[in-house]
Amino acid sequence: MYTFLNDKFLPATDATLGVNDLAIQRGYGIFDFFKTVGDKPIFLDDHLDRFFHSASRMRLDPGKTRDELTAILAELRELNRIPDSGVRITLTGGISTDSITPGRPNLVITQFNMPAPGKACPPPIRLISYPHQRQLPDVKTIDYLMAIYLQPHIRDRGASDVLYQRDGIVTECPRCNFFLVTALGTLVTPNRNILNGVTRKHILTLAADAGIPLEERDVHLDELATAREAFITSTSRHIVPVSHVDDIPIGVAHPVATTLTSKLHHLVNAGN
């Protein structure tokens, strides 16, 4: 397996960063992550848009144009030949001379085997809610401190993931966006203080095309009790239905999640 580092393709195990990189010293860096299905990058334009947006917001210069980065990604896929994979593009703060000012960013691109999501919804999962707001939520930073810190707490509660909320307003899971279907059948998802998920964006388009009523707005914790359905979305998992948030049961059937999973699978596999 090869990894790209700044200007070279290296065997993955040789790809290292100096211990004074600001990612290691100060948790300062951004990334993006897309999948390939049947060797085809999925929604690459969206992921590159967001990667350059994150880099710009954190004042990190990727050192490559969009075309150069696209060519590097193609060459990496050619070297690794993993049809169904995840590709992670990371940009770090680089070596700082004063441990607070970013240096020249390090660009790291890794690829690894990742099975493509299927045509059918996976079984529903339980979430717990937790009061937290990600820093710079519109930026895909490397900050997953709370996500990792909370893992034992999530497991102890018999749940699979955590749903962040602040002052009773739900935002997102650490690596997924959150949707619910109201009692009246409207698909609702938060639209502020969240990461703008690429899967979220395509779900919204697919739902609109299917004539499902949509609202992008604040979602309150107390709306969960009357929700007909809830699910989370991400690049690696597409759509995962939610059976409970804390001790609140949410729906039993997941018709909207099922419909959208099928449509998303079709979109992702179009042309394969």
By CB under 8 A, name the binding residues for its own copies.
3, 5, 13, 15-29, 31, 58-59, 88, 90, 92-93, 100-102, 108, 110, 132, 135-136, 141-149, 151-152
CB of 18 to its own copies, least distance (A): 5
Q: What is the DSSP string of 169-209?
A: EE-B-SSSEEEEE-TT--EEE--SSS---HHHHHHHHHHHH
What does the alpha-carbon distance between residue 151 and residue 205 come to, in Å, rounded to a whole number? 32
157's CB contacts (< 8 A; 6+ apart) are: 126, 128
Q: Cα separation of 150 and 157, whole Å? A: 11
In this structure, which amino acid lies at residue 143?
D
Would you say 20 or 205 has its CB closer to its own copies? Answer: 20
Kindly state the smallest distance separating residue 108's Cβ from its own copies, in Å: 5
Distances (CA, A) of 70 to 30, 40, 41, 201, 252: 18, 13, 10, 22, 43
CA 29 to chain centre: 16
Integer-rounded Cα radius of gyration of the chain: 19
Which positions ≥6 away from 73 have C-beta within 8 Å? Answer: 41, 44, 87, 89, 109
Closer CB to its own copies, 50 or 228, in the complex: 50
Closest CB to its own copies among 40 and 132?
132
**Minimum separation from the CB atom of position 175 to its own copies (A):** 8
Compute the least distance from the CB of residue 12 to its own copies, in Å.
8
Distance from C-alpha of 17 to C-alpha of 220, rounded to nearest angstrom = 42
If the CB atoms of residues 143 and 216 are measured against its own copies, the closer one turns out to be 143
Q: How far is the CB of 14 from its own copies (least distance, A)?
A: 9
21 or 46, CB closer to its own copies? 21
Quote the Cα angle for 85-233-107, to 5°.
45
Count other C-beta atoms under 10 Å from residue 164's C-beta: 24
User: Of 158 and 271, which has the nearer Cβ to its own copies?
Assistant: 158
Query: Which lies closer to its own copies via its Cβ, residue 23 or residue 87?
Result: 23
Question: What span, in angstroms and rounded, lies between the C-alpha atoms of 35 and 272?
Answer: 14
Instruction: Name the minimum Å distance from CB 102 to its own copies.
Output: 7
Distance of closest approach, residue 238 Cβ to its own copies, in angstroms:
18
Residue corresponding to tokens 């690894």 = 112
